[in-house]
Chains A and B, each alone.
Chain A
Amino acid sequence: MNVAGGIRLLGSLRLRTFSEVSLRQKPHWETIGLLAVCQRSLPEQPHHLHSERVVSAQPPEKTALSRPVESLPSETFRGVVSILLSLYLLGLALTVAGNSGSGASLLVSTVKSRLFSPWMVPLWLDLGFDYRLTYGQLDDADHLLVVEPWDMAEGGKRLRFPAAGSSGIAAHRWRTLAAWLEPETVPEDVAGLLPTAVAESLFEELGSEDLRVRCLRVPMPERSAFAAAEPAESTFERAAVARVRRVGGSVQLLPVEEQRDVAPVVSPAADEGATP
């Protein structure tokens, strides 16, 4: 029954290779479509398909094969769509090559930015898919954001993003945001932008116009130094710190002296032995 229904539809597709299909095999749309594709490239053959057994079929039913068929589109349509697909696939290749963490050649970046970015960026398709997962480097660790009044000795509220113990996608978004506060991860021209914006939005909530914005990083212990307990916040490494204050309505980002966490290069013993 299904076979006969399919054959009637195939007749409208000028199928010439029917004899190659086994009637015992249950036909399906992919087979029908494939035959319709193939027949265009085959030489003319005698038309011998419409046997009585096949054509004299049963009344139509609403089965998969009697549904309204959408045959192969016209060559014009296929031509236009093929050109668009080729353009998109070229753009896809260029975005992968041009958004790599290893950088991009001048040629690739120029072609991509001039011809493809204007329409791929708005659609969020200008992506490199450079998902390294991890390189075991410090910036692969979880980051968090802590904002507090600059002089905490005078008391005050302290905000932490994400909140301690929180998990899930929202917390993941906060960690991603916090990682952007590391000066090394952003271009110089926007390096101070986020700390300033973060502080500016929290002046009222914290009741202070002089804030410390800290970006902390979860330590990454070696396997040999693994401890089963979750790392305490006191052990988090400071990745970046900024002081932001509002004076007379204008917001200022003040440079904060970097505190070195490393040991001095010159040892005391060497100092003692040194001659002036």
Chain B
Amino acid sequence: MKSLPTAEATPFSEQFGAGWNAFWFLPASGRPLAVIRMLTGILGLVLWSSYAADLQRWFGPGGMISADVIATWRNAYGVSLFDAATTAASLWALYGLGFAAFAALLVGLATPFAAVAAAVLWVSMLHRGPMLISPADDVLAILLWCLVIGRSGDHLSVDAWLRASRGSDPAGPSVRNRLALSLLGVHASVITLAAVLSQLKGDIWWDGTAAWWLLSGREQSPGSLMAAMAASDYLTNLLSHAVTLFEIVFATGVWVAGLRGGLVAAGLVAWPLIGWLSGDLAWGCGMATLGLAWLPASWFRSGAATTQRA
């Protein structure tokens, strides 16, 4: 039996290898990651501060989610730094540390440490109260781990300013940035695909009434939009199908170079709108931030040039 000619297989393997290298290892500018870092910092501060008012009631001594409850509830592999915070003072101290980490991430101060601290503390918070989380919290965890990998403090940061004031060379492109951006991009696509597959298992996403049900069970719902939907079948159908269609096009279209820029730009509006409609605006903002990883680098370069000219 003759073996297959290897000459025909070689071009594909090399093509795949070159594509793999280009996607994961091509040094990339840190500017897109810096923008993502700042948006993640804002999102992180918002989500972190949502624990402040009820921190003691939930996790404090004698709180609702006691150590015994969490030991039974949580996955066996789950661990949390907050397990060690058994007094009100230590709980507040750890919480304050997290707040400082997110603030440092936002301004880009000691960014590598801030990114690690924010990621570890955020994941610890999620493991401390898994019955309190929403999809936005998951997305923030993904964003933070990717920022740990990349060098997001090279631009638009206090670190970069300090570096420039010392007369050091500006940071150049980095493989770590490429890895982080590619991971973020893959997650943006995978999360969207998983979400839309999940939605399409429900009949209401096919019969076009999903948009109504998104709002109808809410304690505080936008009355005017509901009134408009109650008056028009077509509007309800349009909104429902628009959500599904956008998610399908986004999940697949970002892999096509020519569609990327437009889709990410559309996502900056569409994702927050979908989040608002579903009652989780933070999730929508998180998804829009994830999607920025797909934005062509030239967009950031032109933006930076405009800033420099100004």
Interface of A toward B, CB cutoff 8 Å: 28-30, 33-34, 37-38, 40-41, 62, 67-73, 78, 81-82, 85, 89, 92, 96, 100-102, 117-118, 121-136, 138, 140-142, 144, 165, 167-170, 172-177, 180, 189-190, 193-194, 197-198, 200-201, 217-221, 223-224, 226, 228-231
- Contact B18 A133, beta carbon cutoff 8 Å: no
Q: For the complex, what is the distance from the CA of A125 to the CA of B78, rounded to whole Å?
A: 11
- Contact B50 A169, beta carbon cutoff 8 Å: yes
- For the complex with contacts A33-B22, A118-B77, 13 further pairs of A-B residues with Cβ separation under 8 Å are A37-B26, A72-B175, A117-B77, A127-B138, A169-B46, A169-B47, A169-B282, A172-B134, A172-B279, A173-B54, A197-B69, A228-B226, A230-B219
Chain A residues positioned under 8 Å from B93 (CB to CB) = none
Chain A residues positioned under 8 Å from B26 (CB to CB) = 30, 33-34, 37, 72
Q: For the complex, what is the distance from the CA of A159 to the CA of B60, rounded to whole Å?
A: 18
Chain A residues positioned under 8 Å from B5 (CB to CB) = none
- Contact B195 A132, beta carbon cutoff 8 Å: yes
Chain A residues positioned under 8 Å from B89 (CB to CB) = none
- Contact A230 B278, beta carbon cutoff 8 Å: no
Interface digits, B151-172 against A, CB 8 Å rule (1 contact, 0 not)?
0000000000000000001111
A10 nearest CB across to chain B (Å): 13
Check if B252 is an interface residue, CB within 8 A of chain A: no
- Contact A134 B210, beta carbon cutoff 8 Å: yes
Which residue of chain B has the shortest Cβ distance to A173 in the bound complex? B132
- Contact B217 A219, beta carbon cutoff 8 Å: yes
- Contact A221 B62, beta carbon cutoff 8 Å: no
- Contact B123 A122, beta carbon cutoff 8 Å: yes
- Contact B195 A230, beta carbon cutoff 8 Å: no
Check if B37 is an interface residue, CB within 8 A of chain A: no
- Contact B226 A226, beta carbon cutoff 8 Å: yes
Chain A residues positioned under 8 Å from B22 (CB to CB) = 33-34, 37
The listed residue with most B CB atoms (<10 A of its CB), out of A37, A82, A228, is A37
Check if B283 is an interface residue, CB within 8 A of chain A: yes
- Contact B64 A197, beta carbon cutoff 8 Å: yes
- Contact B25 A124, beta carbon cutoff 8 Å: no
Q: For the complex, what is the distance from the CA of A83 to the CA of B295, rounded to whole Å?
A: 26
Chain B interface bracket (under 10, 10 to 19, 20 to 34, 35 or more): 35 or more
- Contact A134 B278, beta carbon cutoff 8 Å: yes
Q: Is the interface of B mostly helix, strand, loop or mixed?
A: helix
Q: For the complex, what is the distance from the CA of A69 to the CA of B53, rounded to whole Å?
A: 47
Given A29-B27, A70-B173, A92-B190, the answer on whether A173 and B50 have CB atoms closer than 8 Å is yes
A42 nearest CB across to chain B (Å): 9
Which listed residue (B25, B64, B142, B283) contacts A198, Cβ 8 A? B64
- Contact B172 A67, beta carbon cutoff 8 Å: yes
Given A121-B77, A190-B73, A221-B216, the answer on whether A132 and B202 have CB atoms closer than 8 Å is yes
- Contact A30 B66, beta carbon cutoff 8 Å: no
Q: For the complex, what is the distance from the CA of A224 to the CA of B227, rounded to whole Å?
A: 10
- Contact B77 A167, beta carbon cutoff 8 Å: no
Chain B residues positioned under 8 Å from A101 (CB to CB) = 198, 201
- Contact A228 B227, beta carbon cutoff 8 Å: yes
- Contact B223 A228, beta carbon cutoff 8 Å: yes
Q: For the complex, what is the distance from the CA of A89 to the CA of B127, rounded to whole Å?
A: 23
A98 nearest CB across to chain B (Å): 12
Check if B248 is an interface residue, CB within 8 A of chain A: no
A228 nearest CB across to chain B (Å): 5
- Contact B214 A133, beta carbon cutoff 8 Å: yes
Chain A residues positioned under 8 Å from B133 (CB to CB) = 173, 176
- Contact B53 A170, beta carbon cutoff 8 Å: yes
Interface digits, B52-93 against A, CB 8 Å rule (1 contact, 0 not)?
111001000011111011001101011100000000000000
- Contact B220 A167, beta carbon cutoff 8 Å: yes
- Contact A122 B78, beta carbon cutoff 8 Å: yes
- Contact A177 B131, beta carbon cutoff 8 Å: yes
Q: Could you list some 17 contacts between A and B, CB below 8 A?
A: A29-B297, A41-B14, A41-B18, A62-B169, A67-B172, A70-B27, A72-B21, A78-B25, A101-B201, A122-B78, A134-B204, A135-B204, A197-B68, A201-B63, A220-B217, A228-B227, A230-B220
A31 nearest CB across to chain B (Å): 10
- Contact A230 B223, beta carbon cutoff 8 Å: yes
